[in-house]
Amino acid sequence: MSILQAIRTFFFYLLLGTSSLLWCSLSFFVAPFLPFRARYRFINVYWCRCALWLTRVFLNIHVEVKGAENIPKRPCVILANHQSTWETFFLSAYFQPLSQVLKRELLYVPFFGWAMAMLRPIAIDRDNPKAALKHIAKKGDELLKDNIWVLIFPEGTRVPFGTVGKFSRGGTALAVNAELPVLPIAHNAGKYWPKTGWAKKPGTIEVVIGAPMYANGTGPRAIAELNERVQAWNEQTQRDMGSLPPVAAPADVALG
């Protein structure tokens, strides 16, 4: 990374951290008096847009969205691959209002966590996976009935650019039980905003929104089949954008 890019990255983090502290502090005193949708815009949308603006101005990282016409009118479950912090900013501002799964401990962080708690997140205890799945199912169903998008990263954690983690079935189970589709999203944010380190690369992040996917029936088999379809679509879409190597063709079998 060049010295100029390092300086720009330093000021980006300085302004991002400062804006986060100021905005979360302000939100703590203002947002409780707003109805939920206005509160979501005030806390999440405006600050996430600020973060994306800082990303464009200081890091020279832009975004190109394809498939926006595939977004259904009724909110449903969004399943996206997870490579960086960037997609959290972007998706939180792009889909309104939106709830996502996060670690329960984050809600205890002064001001930041207190502000997040007002956005109806699905806060889970990652040390208790069974209880976490039950909470996602119960809370997620309540949110969907209130016409709130539910964002789930089925890989469970950020994975390095150029790889794909195994998709868990929690998101597809939530969609099937709510009789709603899943909206698949693939991106290559990790190419410019790596999982580790503070260095960033200028460029244009590609975000692809796929057509809504419905389960073929109900029950565990339908959930598993839908989950496999979503992961296969995500992997192929990432291959098409050059994030993953192409599938190797089977070797020719010599005939005797």
Domain definitions of the chain by residue range: 61-240
Q: What is the pLDDT of residue 256?
A: 42
Q: What is the pLDDT of residue 248?
A: 65
Q: What is the pLDDT of residue 250?
A: 58
Residue with the two structure tokens 């060049």: 2
Q: What is the pLDDT of residue 254?
A: 44
Is-contact 187 208, C-beta < 8 A? yes
Q: What is the pLDDT of residue 255?
A: 45
* Ordered mean pLDDT values, 10 residues apiece, the chain (256 residues): 85 93 88 93 94 96 97 97 95 95 85 84 86 89 96 93 93 94 97 89 97 94 96 97 79 47
Is-contact 112 51, C-beta < 8 A? no
- Considering the segment(s) 61-240 as one domain, its CATH architecture is 3-Layer(aba) Sandwich (3.40)
Give the integer Cα–Cα distance in Å for 192 and 200: 6
| DSSP-derived secondary structure for 192-238 | TS-SSSS----EEEEEEEPPPB--SSSSHHHHHHHHHHHHHHHHHHH
